[in-house]
């Protein structure tokens, strides 16, 4: 047995976080996000952790080679036959190439790359309807998780408002940025024959069931 991995790519509003949690709880895949791995490496004070920290402190992007080292260090700490679900990684084409090279060298296998796809309209509806309590930070949604009284927090009675990131213009911009950033990755994995497009516009349970079926 060798290490196996899947990758989750999700457009804004595709529900990547929810999907990751659903897969994690129903399978043996270990959820690893770039943010968590970076924080762990920095906290542990490893050599690459300190390198990454130096870039971040200067407000610079952590170079692809360092991100990759952090990921491989994380995998080395796990079982030799563990299954991983990458979230937020790889972010660039270069990271994808480096990952492939490392996996080939170690006999690890990338099984699937799931692209959670939603239409622009669904993204706008999901993200545009999010509400947050100004007082206790509780989350609601105009349609999916409506508060008992419009505009009022169920928990504390505080005032609900739209998240600043969720204006129509901001959502459209985020969708555009996602497409620009992932176009290369998507083409790369499609060519390698591991890309699986998953329609994530419907109810969450359906999308989860779809992914589980493909994982079997
Ligand atoms: Zn509240």
Digit-by-digit pLDDT tens for the chain (216 residues) are 799 999 999 988 898 988 999 999 999 999 999 889 999 999 999 999 999 999 999 999 999 999 999 999 999 999 999 999 999 899 999 999 999 999 999 999 999 999 999 988 998 888 888 899 999 999 999 888 899 999 999 999 999 998 777 888 888 998 999 999 999 999 999 999 999 999 999 888 899 999 999 988
Active site annotation includes 135: no
Active site annotation includes 204: no
A 10 A CB-CB count for 208 gives 20
What sign results for the dihedral spanned by CA atoms 199, 12, 75, 82? negative
CATH 3.40.50.300 domain range(s) in the chain: 4-118+167-215
Active site annotation includes 174: yes
Cα of 162 from ligand 1 centre, angstroms:
13
Q: Pick the closest to residue 120 from 160, 69, 65, 178 (CA basis).
A: 178
> Domain spanning 4-118+167-215: which superfamily?
P-loop containing nucleotide triphosphate hydrolases (3.40.50.300)
Catalytic residue (one of 39, 43, 135, 163) = 163
Active site annotation includes 91: yes
What one-character DSSP code corresponds to residue 166? G
Cα of 160 from ligand 1 centre, angstroms:
8
Cα of 173 from ligand 1 centre, angstroms:
29
Catalytic residue (one of 24, 97, 109, 174) = 174
Cα of 13 from ligand 1 centre, angstroms:
23
Cα of 57 from ligand 1 centre, angstroms:
33
Active site annotation includes 16: yes
What is the residue-wise DSSP string for 50-115? HHHHHHHHTTPPPPHHHHHHHHHHHHHHS-TT-EEEEES---SHHHHHHHHHHHHHHT-EEEEEEE
* Rg of the chain on CA atoms, in Å: 19
């Amino acid at each position: 047995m060798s290490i196996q991995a899947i990758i989750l790519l999700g457009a804004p509003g595709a529900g990547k976080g929810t999907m990751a949690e659903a897969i994690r709880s129903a399978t043996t895949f270990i959820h690893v996000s770039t943010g968590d791995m970076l924080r762990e490496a920095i906290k542990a004070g490893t050599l690459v952790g300190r390198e990454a920290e130096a870039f971040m402190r200067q407000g610079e992007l952590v170079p692809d080679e360092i991100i990759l080292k952090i990921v491989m260090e994380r995998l080395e700490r796990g079982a030799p036959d563990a299954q991983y679900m990458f979230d937020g990684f790889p972010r660039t084409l270069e990271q994808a190439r480096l990952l492939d090279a490392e996996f080939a060298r170690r006999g690890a296998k990338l099984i699937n790359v799931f692209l959670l796809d939603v239409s622009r309209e669904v993204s706008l509806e999901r993200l545009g309807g999010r509400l947050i309590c100004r007082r206790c930070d509780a989350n609601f949604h105009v349609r999916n998780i409506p508060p008992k009284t419009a505009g009022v927090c169920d928990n504390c009675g505080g005032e609900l408002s739209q998240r600043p990131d969720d204006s129509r213009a901001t959502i459209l911009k985020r969708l555009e940025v996602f497409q620009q950033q992932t176009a290369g990755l998507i083409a790369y994995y499609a060519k390698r024959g591991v890309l699986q497009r998953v329609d994530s516009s419907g109810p969450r349970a359906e999308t989860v069931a779809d992914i589980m079926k493909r994982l079997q």
